Amino acid sequence: MAKKLFIKTYGCQMNVYDSARMADVLRPLGYESTDSVDGADMVILNTCHIREKASEKVYSELGRLNRAREERAARDGGRMVIAVAGCVAQAEGEEIVARAPFVDMVFGPQTYHRLPELVARASRAGGVAVLDVEFPVEAKFDSLPEETSPPGATAFLSIQEGCDRFCTFCVVPYTRGAEYSRDADAIEAEARRLVAAGAREITLLGQNVNAWHGRGLDGRDWRLGRLIAHLADIDGLDRIRYMTSHPRDMDAELIAAHGSVDKLMPYLHLPVQSGSDRILAAMNRQHTAEDFRRIVDRLRAVRADLALSSDFIVGFPGEGDADFAATLRLVSETGFASAYSFKYSARPGTPAATMENQVPESVKDERLAGLQQLVDGQEAAFHRSKRDATVPVLFQSRGRQTGQIVGRSPWLQAVIVEAPETLIGAIAECRITGIGTHSLHGEVLDDRRRPETERACA
């Protein structure tokens, strides 16, 4: 009988991608994915270490899982394997084993292709946790099996992993290791498989995705702009996105691609973190606020309807009122369609954690509220700017209410319409009729893609 696998994913899209790949690796061993802990034979927590709150969640979740496991054993004698993967496993492997000794397996992001071996070792280990947090010399991507998890209309594709930038606040270079780029032919092959399996949109992923440079199809070193132009030739692939990028790696070719590749969506997540040059330098971001403004100008010059989103950290060590005011100014001048703001969280082992002038929590709270108010206003204004517009929507799922389906605009806005479910997986022109806080309402204008029968009785 098939065994049930439940993977709970925290953190970024790279973890979402990795969770699907772990399911692919375990499928040949007889594990079928399920969406709850109930009755699961194996539970994997795919964890995130980026902020303190994120990593502390793991320990409370592990406590709950241990109780579920005991209940299960008492109920039907079944055994539930508990595993911790992802960035907390990488950063605190030993500590997890010490704090939660009932855990069976702890393994880092570079080891997923070795899961079959780990599972076999865990079943022999008899109550002793199996730990694997090596950065193996062989490349994980080359050793993973081809993906068998069905993609939806939108799919993620990891093209780059790791980071060499070493921003002083960030754990990623330590949890994911050095930058590694896959070759263009492997990426193209995976993209073609995803499209053949039904994906219409692909988001290229990497911790620092625009640092991607891999062997191109002509044997030369390609950069991201070239790769995107190449993938745009795939028939049936309608939308391309990429994330997360660093301002320093926005090269001329990539900026130009925003103007010349229609399938590249006019929405870019470009984290800037702060508007103060002093703080940007202390963060080791290696660019100024003015550099960021210039990049945005160049992008908008080639693609006028480009919308931007970003990440901000408030309360980085040494951030004074004038620095924070510079951040607010940058936000006001740039105009974002969306933005994520975080309170600085000191992470063990990173240079900023031991910097002087740590900012008090109360100041961070105040700044966070101020920044969020500003970006919420910008987000609302951006949504309102689409009222009465006609936009192509890629439908992805059913809506909350019967008869509704939900998709995304080119600018990643959720668009809710009343239309038959047969439109899921298709792109249709919609007129935007209403503006909500986090979504738009619309009506389908173009029903060419509905099956004949639907149209006949409409």
Q: Which residues bind ligand F3S (CB under 6 A)?
A: 11-12, 14-15, 48-50, 86-87, 171-172, 175-176, 207
Please give the Cα distance from 349 to 178 (Å, whole number): 16
CB of 430 to ligand F3S, least distance (A): 33
Q: Which residues pair with 62 in a beta bridge?
A: none
Q: Which of 81, 172, 199, 314 is in the footprint of ligand SF4 by CB under 6 A?
A: 172
395 binds ligand SAH (CB under 6 A): no
Residue 166 binds which entry of ligand SAH, ligand F3S, ligand SF4, none, with Cβ cut-offs from 5 to 8 Å by kind? ligand SF4
Please give the Cα distance from 356 to 230 (Å, whole number): 48
246 binds ligand SF4 (CB under 6 A): yes
CB atoms within 10 A of CB 97: 17
Cβ-based nearer residue to ligand F3S, 165 or 263:
165
Residue 311 binds which entry of ligand SAH, ligand SF4, ligand F3S, none, with Cβ cut-offs from 5 to 8 Å by kind? ligand SAH
CB of 250 to ligand F3S, least distance (A): 21
x-marked contacts with ligand SAH along 46-75 as a string, rule CB under 6 A: ----xx------------------------
Cβ-based nearer residue to ligand F3S, 90 or 334:
90
Q: What b/e sequence results for 295-309 when a residue is b if at least 16 CB atoms lie within 10 Å of its CB, and e otherwise?
A: bbebbbeebeebbbb
Q: Which of 244, 274, 276, 413 is in the footprint of ligand SAH by CB under 6 A?
A: 244
How much of the chain is helix, strand and coil, in % rounded to 5? 40, 25, 35
Helix (H/G/I), strand (E/B), else coil: 342: strand
CB of 401 to ligand SF4, least distance (A): 39
352 binds ligand SF4 (CB under 6 A): no
CB of 8 to ligand F3S, least distance (A): 13
Cβ-based nearer residue to ligand SF4, 51 or 408:
51
CB atoms within 10 A of CB 10: 21
CB of 406 to ligand SAH, least distance (A): 25
207 binds ligand SF4 (CB under 6 A): yes
Please give the Cα distance from 443 to 183 (Å, whole number): 42
167 binds ligand SF4 (CB under 6 A): yes
CA within 13 Å, CB half, 225: 13
CB of 54 to ligand F3S, least distance (A): 7
Cβ-based nearer residue to ligand F3S, 102 or 174:
174
Residue 173 binds which entry of ligand SAH, ligand SF4, ligand F3S, none, with Cβ cut-offs from 5 to 8 Å by kind? ligand SF4
CB of 313 to ligand SAH, least distance (A): 5
x-marked contacts with ligand SF4 along 34-73 as a string, rule CB under 6 A: ----------------------------------------
Which own/partner pairs from 370-376 qualify as long-range (CB within 8 Å, at least 24 positions apart)? 370/324, 370/328, 371/312, 371/314, 371/324, 371/327, 371/328, 371/331, 371/341, 372/341, 374/328, 374/331, 374/332, 375/331, 375/336, 375/338, 375/339, 375/341
Please give the Cα distance from 20 to 23 (Å, whole number): 5
Helix (H/G/I), strand (E/B), else coil: 440: strand
* Residue list 208-227, contact with ligand SF4 (CB under 6 A): 208
CB atoms within 10 A of CB 328: 17
CB of 168 to ligand F3S, least distance (A): 16
Please give the Cα distance from 396 to 150 (Å, whole number): 14
Q: Which residues pair with 158 in a beta bridge?
A: 205
Q: Which residues pair with 215 in a beta bridge?
A: 221
Residue 51 binds which entry of ligand SAH, ligand SF4, ligand F3S, none, with Cβ cut-offs from 5 to 8 Å by kind? ligand SAH
Nearest by Cα to 127 from 158, 110, 107, 104: 104
- Answer whether the bond into residue 244 is a cis peptide, omega within 30°: yes
- For 90, 223, 429, the CA distances from 239, given in Å and listed in that order, are 33, 19, 15
Question: Residues in the site for ligand SF4, rule: CB under 6 A?
Answer: 163, 165-167, 170, 172-173, 207-208, 246
Question: Residues in the site for ligand SAH, rule: CB under 6 A?
Answer: 50-51, 169-170, 172, 207-208, 244, 246, 271, 273, 311, 313, 342, 344-345, 347
